Structure 1
Amino acid sequence: MTTTSSAATRGGDGSGALGGAKIFIVGGGSGMGAAIAKMAVARGAKVALAGRSQEKLAAIAAGLGDSVLGTYSLDLGDRSTVDAALAEHGPYDHIVTTAADLTFAPFTSLTDAQIDGMLTSKFWGPINLARAADKHLAPQGSVLFFSGLAAYRQGPGSSIVGVVNIALESLAAALAIELKPKRFNVISPGVVDSETWAGMSPEDRKTFFAQVASGLPTGRVGTVEDEAHAALSVLENGFINGTVINVDGGGRIA
């Protein structure tokens, strides 16, 4: 029996709501991924949550009730595991990945393990998700990647972070052409108050955010809700394709 997708088939006029849509969210156990899941469910979507920590995924899923299709502890670098997870409840209307195992450190001090972690979460992971999308995404569905400001504004310690982010944006543009009519887009967040910075002490984190905010036109750092709102707008608008949406408080121009 063929499953007719909801939002993906109703959004061709640009007015597609998420009611009834199925969304696979990698990184759904915390931060921006969890915020996207909560907002999407509030708009009537069904979500599947994937990430590294089954405990975190279960905690988010518990608050979303019957709107959760399943939770998946994934190694994004394992193509067969990614494919199997998407196959269980596919086809999906949208696939979103906010996964980011990033290390900000001087280039010469980065270990192979740290570089591999960044490549898995921000390069091989999206590649494997796109491969699975070819089979398990509705014909008019979309894939949304998350890159980051380091793609354009490099600084000490962000060498590999910038490389994987700009590669991800190039990949999305190519896939929008090769896998049409499926859509591929990217959200590029700036500094966001999220678990990305959990390794810093509370005081250092506060000082860092204040310093960043002082240089932004918005006068503040981002929230996970800022990014989630932007993400859902891209999913809902069937005419946004092959592009990068900067949600960085003006970080690119500051």
Structure 2
Amino acid sequence: MSVVSQNLQAEPALAGKHVLVVGGTSGIGRAAAEKALAAGASVTVASRDPQRADGTFSAPVRTEHVDISDTASVEALFNRVGAFDHLVLSAGPGAMGSVRDLSSADARPFMDIKFWGYYDAVRAASGAIAQDGSITMVGGGASRKHAPGRPVMAAVNAALEAFGKANALDLAPIRVNVIAPGLVDTPAYSGMPEEMRQGMYAGYGNAVPAGRVGKAEDVASAALFLMTNTFVTGTVIDVDGGVHVS
């Protein structure tokens, strides 16, 4: 049999695997779910509004409700899901405003959702995930590429990166990694006026070596890589168009 024939007959990379994507009904999470489906996995997507998944994926998915800011809701999700192989966490808004603008009371909910919510999810997952599985957390490039008005985003995402590296040791052989995206065109910015949003995207594209704003699929491709490469753990992958060298 030729090498070409062997490749054509190879099983999809995630065949027989169960992937859980929290925040999987829109944006980066949805794109990660689609990549997992294309790679042969069975997929469960969880979000505050799971009905957004109805009939919109390329293949059937299981849908679950979860409020990532509520520990009991997170624990109940993992109890319902049971055993699985890979977890992708892609939930939580960004917090804009300087320390002068945001009181601790205003800033705390962002940490509650994106850090403590992920913490609860990783804790709950640790007893159910396959020992040869993986946990991928979507953070953000604001952790190390600083800009005005983003101290809370910087702090939350930096905390996630440290949390991921530490858990790669504590939870081994389960692999734990973090993706740090740059600016990505997702529904998270749909509330902005169109002209302002396009101007923001154009400005970013002009500033980075890649010459464009990111797409959800760019980040999802990194998530698929982290699910399938069994020699990668404890790392942070920048998917940002080169913003750190611009």
- Structure 1 residue 66: Cα displacement: 6.6
Deviation at 1:237, TM superposition (A): 0.7
2:205 paired with 1:227: no
**Aligned pair partner of 1:121 in 113, 134, 140:** 113
Work out whether residues 23 and 94 of structure 1, in 8 Å CA contact, stay in contact via their aligned partners in 2: yes
- How far apart are the structure 2 equivalents of 1:86 and 1:67? 20
Structure 1 residues 89-116: Cα deviation after superposition (integer angstroms, max 9, x where no partner): 3211011111122221122222455423
Deviation at 1:197, TM superposition (A): 1.8
| 8 Å CA contact 1:175, 1:184 repeated in 2 | yes
Shift of 1:78: 2.3
Indicate the residue corresponding to 1:8 in structure 2. none
Report the equivalent of 1:7: none
**1:196 partner amino acid:** A
Provide the C-alpha distance between the structure 1 equivalents of 2:116 and 2:244, rounded to a whole number of angstroms: 26
Q: Which residue of 2 aligns with 1:135?
A: 127
CA contact (8 A) 1:61 1:71 kept: no
The one-letter amino acid of 1:236's match is T
- Residues 145 and 166 of structure 1, relative CA distance in 2, 3 Å threshold: same
TM-score, structure 2 as length reference = 0.90
Equivalent residue in structure 1 for 2:228, among 236, 240, 244: 236
Structure 1's unaligned 5+ residue stretches are 1-14
Contact 1:189–1:248, Cα closer than 8 Å, also in 2: yes
Alignment match of 1:42 (pick from 30, 38, 45): 38
Aligned partners of 2:54, 2:16: CA distance in 1, in Å? 17
**Does structure 1 residue 58 correspond to structure 2 residue 51?**
yes
How far 1:16 sits from its partner (Å)? Answer: 8.2
2:240 matched residue in structure 1 = 248
Deviations 1:96-153 (A, max 9, x none): 1111222211222224554233112221011101111221111111110011111011
Q: Residue 16 of structure 1 contacts residue 238 of structure 1 at CA under 8 Å; is this kept in 2?
A: no
Conservation of the 8 A alpha-carbon contact between 2:16 and 2:41:
yes
- The alignment status of 1:67 with 2:60, answered yes or no, reads yes
Q: 1:20 to 1:113 in 2, by over 3 A?
A: farther
Q: Cα gap change, 1:65/1:210 in structure 2, threshold over 3 Å: closer, same or farther?
A: closer
Match of 1:163 in 2: 155
Match of 2:96 among 104, 119, 124: 104
Instruction: State which drifts further: 174-183 or 190-199.
Output: 190-199
Residue type of the partner of 1:44? G
- Matching residue's letter, 1:62: G
Aligned residue runs from structure 1 range 8-23, under 5 A: 17-23=13-19
d(CA) in 2 for partners of 1:232, 1:88: 24
